[in-house]
Structure formats: C-alpha cells, structure tokens
Amino acid sequence: MNTIGFVFSALRDEMQLPLTQNRTFAALPFACRYRLVDFPISSMVNAGISNINVIANYNYRSLIQHIGSGKDWDLARYTGGVHIMSPYQNAGRDRQGVYSTRREALLHMKDYIESMGESIAILSDCNCIANLDYRKMLETHIKNEAEVTIAVSENITGQRGEDGSRRLLPVCILSCSLLRQWLSYDGTGDDNLPVDILKKERSERRICTYTHSGYVAKIESMEDYFYHSIALTRNPEVAESLFGNGAQRIMTRTHNSTPTRYGERADVIDSLVADGCLIEGRLENSIVFRNVRIGRGSVVRNSILFAGTEIGSDTVLDCVICDKKVKIGSERILSGHITMPMYIQKGREV
C-alpha cells in the first residue's frame, strides 16, 4: 500500500487528566475493551494501511504492552507493521525532552521520513474517538487532487467549542513530499497542524475537507471522557456503530478471559460489559471493563469500572470512575455528580 500512517499518542500536555497521570493519552482505556489508540490504528488497518508509526510521549509502557507485536490488528508482518517510536530529548530546548507539537514529534523521525517509500501519509491524533473510513477519505483526497485533506464533522458533541475549529478532526492526509517540505521549514510558534503552516500559502495549496458523518467523541477533559462514556450507554445503537463490525471493526488486544457471569440477583440495564466479570448486583448506565466483580446488593450507576475492580456487597456507586484494580468494600456509598465524576486512582482500596 502506498500510504503510511502516523498516530500521535499524546500532544496535549496541558490536558492534565487524573486518568492520564500514569499513562499516555493513547493508552487511555475506553468503552470496556479499547484504548484510544485502537481507533486510529484500526481505521488505518481497515483501509488497508499496514505501515503505522505510533509516536509515543510520556508513560508509554502500557501502550507498548497493549500494542505488542501488532498481532491483534494483523500487523505482525515482515514488511510494515506497527511501530512505536519513542521520543527522545531535543537537545537545546528548555522543555524536558518530549515534544509538544506534531512537527517536533515528526522531526525526531526525520531520517525515517526522508527515506520512506510511501507517497501518502495520514496523520492522526488519539483524542477523537470515531470509526473513520480512511479508504473513503483517501479516495476523496485523490479525486480532488488535494495536497492536504482534513477530516471534519458536524457531529462533534461535548462540552466546548463554538467556532469553526469545533468541526475539525485532528486527522489529515497529505503527500509525503509535502510532509518532508513542511518538516524542513524553520520552526515557529504555530507549527502544529499542517494547516497552520499552510494557512500562509492557502491560495497556492489545495486544501480539501472530508466530512465524516458518523459518531465522534472529542476528549479534552475528564468531563468529556465521562460524558462520552456514559452517553454510549444511553445510545447503545451508537455504541454498536462506533465499534463497527466485519471489515470496519475496531480491533483491540485480546485476553483469554472467561465469559461474564451474571448472578441470580443480577439486575443490569443500559450498560456495556466486557468479559471475565462476575455481576451479582445492579448495574445501570455503566461501563464495565474486564474481570470486574460486583457483589450482591450493590448498585452501580453512571459509573466506569476499569479492569480488575472489585466492588463488595451492598455498596452504592454513582458517577464514579474507578481506575484499574480498585477495591471498594461492602456497605460503602460513593457518589460524584454527572458533571463532576468522582475518580478513584488505580489500586486504591476503599
């Protein structure tokens, strides 16, 4: 295939989510089974792209473990495959090592980019959750003879964004020669999105848009993350369209967990549940990752329980996000608010 993919695992270091304190943004778990990086990688694989570079930032151990050899995306290949490019210090800068713009990130890979054989590049961030059809987007790019194609959407919902920038998705297609050209410019302040650079030359460049008509969730805060997760439980058909099926499936790492067991007193509605769980209580509008246990008499509402969490019996959770392996005892009551979820750190015991 003539196209290469670049996925930026984290760019927004101003977005300090408690959830990303110990994991890079791309490794943020979402919707029971996935991590944010699964969406761009799967979309690329589904479009036939088999050479994908994930540019890592901080705390990317869980990202490496998640992606592994790329086998789960059928990317453990002799040619191409998925590669995690680690960041390294940019000597002479004030900041500690890691990049903060896409251009800086790609500059670390300058040699590779100079010599790569593909002619088209797709660049994507990880903060827009969507099942994009890159095949269509590439077709549009080629048909319009565009130099840059940027994805837009009318459907971005969330807490913020009023102006035109609201519609932009952090996904663009450009030719590799243009990419090399862009990298060779002298760095200035606004060298983030290719469009910023090319704004100056807009009249000379063909910049086109591709409209994605499906679901999009833009995650820029803890509230966004919570809002979009719970929204999936209120609109299960939307969830199904996001996860895709057949050739448009979002793929992720598989685990050999058992099927989930619902107990005799289980009472589950409007929820998404992964494998390996034991549910013996009430679950409402919640997202449950794998190997979670919910004891008898407990009620879990509007909450997100990451892998390995254990909730005792007769405990009530409302608007709570439990990170991995949290243990909440019996007869506890924990409550956040739908606009301000309560977050419990990984491994905490309550």
Partner 1 sequence: MILAGGQGSRLLDLTRQTAKPAVGFGGKYRIIDFPLSNCVQSGIDTVGVLTQYQPLDLNEYIGNGDAWDLDRRNGGLFVLPPYQGSRRADWYRGTANAIYQNLNFVLKSAPQYVLILSGDHIYRMNYRKMLRAHVEKRAACTVATLRVAKEEASRFGICNTDEDGRIFEFEEKPKHPRSDLASMGIYIFNTDKLVSVLERDAENKASSNDFGKDIIPTMIQNGEAVYSYAFDGYWKDVGTVRSLWEANMDLLGREPRLGLNNGEFRIYSRNLSRAPQVIYRDADVKDSLISEGCRIGGSVHHSVLSCGVCVEKGAVVRDSVIMEDVVIKAGAVVTRAMIDRRAYVDRGVTVGDTAGTEITVVGKERMVTKEGIF
CB 197 within 8 A of CB 182: yes
List, as one string, the DSSP characters of 298-327.
Answer: -EEES-EE-TT-EE-SS-EEESEEE-TT-E
State the pairing for strand pair 207-212/148-153: parallel
Residues 223-282 that bind partner 1 (CB under 8 A): 236, 239-240, 243-245, 249-252, 254, 256-266, 268-276
**Which of 186/237 has CB closer to partner 1?**
237
* SS3 state of residue 167: helix
Minimum distance from residue 36 beta carbon to partner 1 (Å): 15
**Which of 97/236 has CB closer to partner 1?**
236
**Which of 153/291 has CB closer to partner 1?**
291
What's phi and psi for 144, nearest 5 deg? Answer: -80, 0
* SS3 state of residue 288: strand
Cα(first)–Cα(last) distance of the chain, in Å?
A: 51
Q: How far apart are CA 15 and CA 200, in angstroms?
A: 28
**Which of 76/333 has CB closer to partner 1?**
76
Q: Which residue has the tokens 């799967």?
A: 42
Residues 21-50 that bind partner 1 (CB under 8 A): 31-33
| 304 lines the binding site for partner 1 (CB under 8 A) | no
* SS3 state of residue 282: strand
Q: How far apart are CA 210 and CA 172, in angstroms?
A: 9
**Which of 63/137 has CB closer to partner 1?**
63
* SS3 state of residue 39: helix
Minimum distance from residue 47 beta carbon to partner 1 (Å): 18
Minimum distance from residue 288 beta carbon to partner 1 (Å): 8
- x/- site string to partner 1, residues 52 to 91, per CB under 8 A? --------------------x-------------------
Minimum distance from residue 227 beta carbon to partner 1 (Å): 18
Minimum distance from residue 29 beta carbon to partner 1 (Å): 12
Provide CB contacts within 8 A for 194, sequence distance 6+: 102, 123, 148, 172, 174, 178, 179, 182
Minimum distance from residue 276 beta carbon to partner 1 (Å): 5
| 299 lines the binding site for partner 1 (CB under 8 A) | no
**Which of 50/229 has CB closer to partner 1?**
229
**Which of 250/320 has CB closer to partner 1?**
250
Query: How many residues belong to the site for partner 1 (CB under 8 A)?
Result: 37
Q: How far apart are CA 233 and CA 301, in angstroms?
A: 11
Minimum distance from residue 177 beta carbon to partner 1 (Å): 36
Structure tokens at 134: 């890159």
CB 253 within 8 A of CB 267: no
Which residue type is seen at 182? W
**Which of 205/327 has CB closer to partner 1?**
327
Minimum distance from residue 284 beta carbon to partner 1 (Å): 10
Residue whose C-alpha is closest to residue 170's, from 196, 140, 189: 196
| 291 lines the binding site for partner 1 (CB under 8 A) | yes
**Which of 216/287 has CB closer to partner 1?**
287
CB 215 within 8 A of CB 236: no
Minimum distance from residue 300 beta carbon to partner 1 (Å): 13
Interface ranges with partner 1 (CB under 8 A):
31-33, 72, 236, 239-240, 243-245, 249-252, 254, 256-266, 268-276, 283, 291
